[in-house]
Structure 1
């Protein structure tokens, strides 16, 4: 279930209405009145949830899903268990995205409310600068300083003795104690997810959160996206430079450092004590082992084992990169050719 501090529940909705929203055909018309309360991933859904299935490589997960309903392509219908109602469409993800809008809505600032919402809770000693807005249900701990122009969304939790820099935007997020968010940083905006629909690309709902543990620093104009379903998390004492992007569902361990322009793609898992040089990039769904180092401007397309140093494009172990670079230099200079 999406966190009710950040998402309003609009359900339940009848399967017939969800099918209509997603321009899908309900395979068994007798199930038109089945009630669906929320959206969930294929492998975490219960009988009150609607999900989607579009990748045949996940057919085992489809076969064991407990979902009450699933958007699915015609050729994949038989992968679903008998307990799961099939909604037939050529574009399952896009259909699901349309249906989710009938079940969940992100909570936003109330337009007519005071800048500091009366339902926000601020402990003694919170220091507010001019132009701050704080949404309903937000909670801010003692000794935290909020800079000018900061926007804090509904339900956001900020611990004690933090520092929030000017014009930072924080939504859908839970922050620990002694967290520093520098000027212009954005936490909790929707992660990048899109799917082709009948009329072109559509945005996929992002129903997760951002969780920042104690003593984390996030630099100016950096962005940390909220998860699609699971949380985007940053571990204790990790330090993030300016202009860094952390995508949805990324999990970063403790005591990591990320230099400027680093980009971590969706669902990357980073162990403890990992260092990223400036402009390093990591492809999605990879694992970076604890104690690893990623060189400046490296482009990582494979899992990196614990304790190793990788660099280059594509990134590979440092010693290998040095040997290849030296060989290439000799070949380019003509010193490696034979007469």
Structure 2
């Protein structure tokens, strides 16, 4: 192991080095400041931690000045600026530096290779005991009528309930429980996730709460990621659904019959109440709360801790509780600051 590298090879897979020309071809970049076509790049890192021999990236113009103090040998930017980028640093100009860096980082730090295995310490139907196409680690329980497609990995201590379907190339982390669910292809479910448990459905009465049977399911699309210790309740009737390509952070709660669209990004500790509809491409900051039976329009964004109590039109940008348009929120915050400052005088 190279002790000079920031990435600990005991924890992560490391590949490379790769030539700067190869990297440029990978991301379809225009090259500036190239004095040595045989320049070898050994890793990828953020601008504050990059070392000599590594490549970094800059997204925002107001941080490009950091490159002057960086040890990186190469950088990825949206627009080349000869006045801001050191002459001894190779520059790769692309249309989207963030996406380009992600692809480069994937090349240097690849995912674990899939290695089939069936633990003798796990419990499962006979048809999976001799499988050579899946991986089941220790102390996993798989009930009857489960369908597991090829190249699925299930981590230690997980439970897969009867009738669940898990699509190809999906990874289920440690101590996960999945019931009443259909999981798509290429889904990544991190440790401690709970999917398909009974939703919070009951009828209040003078005699106490009367439980309403939750007889729906959960449908998770392809290429979804679900962060550690998040909970997705099954529908009371019909499905709770997560659309293709949506990423959910840790500690998120999705209640019964919520419908989340494609390619949404939901940060930690967000709570979405029952029967809410989240349309495609929405983004929520941490601890956003979303009320039940409302619709958040396509491409909407909510700042951290926003409380969304009413439906939002497509493309809305909101913050605060109750959530209001972002421009109004900033005006109110500035006005409040002036009022407080005036009282202080």
* TM-score, normalized by the shorter chain, greater than 0.5: yes
Which secondary structure does the structure 1 equivalent of 2:333 belong to? Answer: helix
**Equivalent in the alignment of 2:317:** 309
**Equivalent in the alignment of 2:275:** 267
1:278-323 Cα deviation digits (max 9, x unpaired): 0111010110011110110101111111111100011110001111
Is residue 191–residue 227 contact of structure 1 (8 Å, CA) maintained in 2?
Answer: yes
Moved over 4 A (4+): 119-124
How far 1:179 sits from its partner (Å)?
A: 0.6
Aligned length: 224
Q: Is residue 177 of structure 2 the alignment partner of residue 177 of structure 1? A: no
- 2:125 pairs, out of 117, 126, 129, with 117
Q: Is residue 248 of structure 2 the alignment partner of residue 243 of structure 1? A: no
Q: Is residue 224 of structure 2 the alignment partner of residue 216 of structure 1? A: yes
Is residue 298–residue 314 contact of structure 1 (8 Å, CA) maintained in 2?
Answer: yes
**1: CA distance between counterparts of 2:184 and 2:242?**
10
Is residue 330–residue 336 contact of structure 1 (8 Å, CA) maintained in 2?
Answer: no
Is residue 119–residue 138 contact of structure 1 (8 Å, CA) maintained in 2?
Answer: no
Q: Structure 1 residues 115 and 290, CA, compared in 2 at 3 Å: closer, same or farther?
A: same
How far 1:124 sits from its partner (Å)?
A: 4.3
**2: CA distance between counterparts of 1:225 and 1:210?**
7
What pairs with 1:84-233 in structure 2 (closer than 5 Å)?
A: 115-118=123-126, 124-197=132-205, 199-233=207-241
How far 1:269 sits from its partner (Å)?
A: 0.3
Q: Is residue 334 of structure 2 the alignment partner of residue 326 of structure 1? A: yes
Is residue 162–residue 177 contact of structure 1 (8 Å, CA) maintained in 2?
Answer: yes
Which secondary structure does the structure 2 equivalent of 1:334 belong to? Answer: helix
**Equivalent in the alignment of 1:289:** 297
1:80-106 Cα deviation digits (max 9, x unpaired): xxxxxxxxxxxxxxxxxxxxxxxxxxx
1:190-243 Cα deviation digits (max 9, x unpaired): 110111245311221101000000000000000000001020000000000000
Is residue 275–residue 291 contact of structure 1 (8 Å, CA) maintained in 2?
Answer: yes
1:220-278 Cα deviation digits (max 9, x unpaired): 00000000102000000000000000000000000000000011100010111000100
Q: Structure 1 residues 144 and 252, CA, compared in 2 at 3 Å: closer, same or farther?
A: same
| Structure 1, unaligned runs of 5 or more | 1-113
Q: Which has the higher contact order (CA 8 A, sep 6+)?
A: 1
Which secondary structure does the structure 2 equivalent of 1:323 belong to? Answer: helix
How far 1:325 sits from its partner (Å)?
A: 1.1
